[in-house]
Amino acid sequence: MVMIKENVSYPMISASAWWAIRKKFIQSMPPRINESYLALLLHMEEKSAKNLLPPLKRIGLIDNDGRPTERANRWRDNEQYAGVCEEMRKEIYPRELLDLLPGSDASRTSIENWFASRAGVGAGAKRMMAAFYVLLSEADYTKQDSTTSSKTSKAAKSAPSQSRANASRAKAERRDKSVDLAEASESTVEAPKAIERNTNNVGPSLHIDIQIHIASDASADQVDHIFASMAKHLYRSKDSNEQ
């Protein structure tokens, strides 16, 4: 007869969620915990927040109705924090794990491999299970402040980077505007030159009005002689320019 071993699930709560919930509990103990409360507190969707309710019940911080337990009240007390974490460890994990891989002093890879083998989970789940196991094993409430400081430090470091990026973009925009202005200025300067060249090629036009008074008793020969003389003197200058 072949016996099939059932895989056991272990809690998966990220360090950021762990410390955020504890910090809120220290400020004010809520009457009830549900997915909407966790979603608002942890800045996540309710669908994802709902997945945190079973592990919170499993470690004894809330009851089946979502109300914080007496353990949750002790969990938020710094002096009792380590003792509460040890209670959770002994209730959740088998003696084999506690004896062979006590936690913070053990290899993280060995702990992850243990969860992969015993819980039958993949890479992502085994890392989260191992991380929470180590978090309980360390039982160090000062990590709450260090986690907050780390987030603040990352935000502070990202701010100068963002400022530098904005400055670079502004500088690039100013450079582009300078190029556009230079091109516009060059076009403005070139325009008169083009006009000047066209003016030199075409030359100024001259319009002259000539009034001729011919006596009414002038003969036809005299009229022809007058117009012939005009043609000779007026068009001679034009012919010489064309040559």
> CATH number for the domain including 60?
1.10.10
Q: What pLDDT, on a 0 to 100 scale, did the predictor assign at position 156?
A: 47
**Would residue 114 count as lying in a domain?**
yes
List Cα–Cα distances, 140 to 14, 104, 127, 205, in angstroms: 15, 11, 20, 98
- What is the overall mean pLDDT for the chain? 79
DSSP state of 8: P
Confidence of residue 3 (pLDDT cuts 50, 70, 90): very low
Q: What pLDDT, on a 0 to 100 scale, did the predictor assign at position 195?
A: 43
Kindly report, residue by residue over 177-218, the tens digit of the pLDDT: 555 544 544 444 444 444 444 445 555 665 566 666 666 666
**Would residue 178 count as lying in a domain?**
no
Cα–Cα distance for residue pair 86/41, rounded to 1 Å? 26
- Determine which of 48-57, 104-113, 122-131 has the lowest per-residue pLDDT on average: 104-113
Q: Mark whether 69 and 113 lie in a shared domain.
A: no
Q: How many domains does the chain have?
A: 2
**Would residue 125 count as lying in a domain?**
yes
Q: What pLDDT, on a 0 to 100 scale, did the predictor assign at position 7?
A: 60
**Would residue 20 count as lying in a domain?**
yes
Domain closes at, from 142, 162, 181: 142
Q: Mark whether 22 and 56 lie in a shared domain.
A: yes
Q: What pLDDT, on a 0 to 100 scale, did the predictor assign at position 176?
A: 58
Kindly report, residue by residue over 169-187, the tens digit of the pLDDT: 656 666 655 555 445 444 4
Q: Mark whether 102 and 72 lie in a shared domain.
A: no
Domain closes at, from 76, 109, 129: 76
CB 121, CB 129: distance < 8 Å? yes
Q: What pLDDT, on a 0 to 100 scale, did the predictor assign at position 194?
A: 44
CB atoms within 10 A of CB 74: 14
Cα–Cα distance for residue pair 26/148, rounded to 1 Å? 15
CB 139, CB 22: distance < 8 Å? no
**Would residue 53 count as lying in a domain?**
yes
* Residue 108 lies in domain: 93-142
Q: Mark whether 110 and 135 lie in a shared domain.
A: yes
Q: Is residue 153's pLDDT more than 70?
A: no
**Would residue 27 count as lying in a domain?**
yes
Q: Which two tokens stand for residue 175?
A: 């450079």
Confidence of residue 30 (pLDDT cuts 50, 70, 90): very high
Domain closes at, from 76, 101, 119: 76
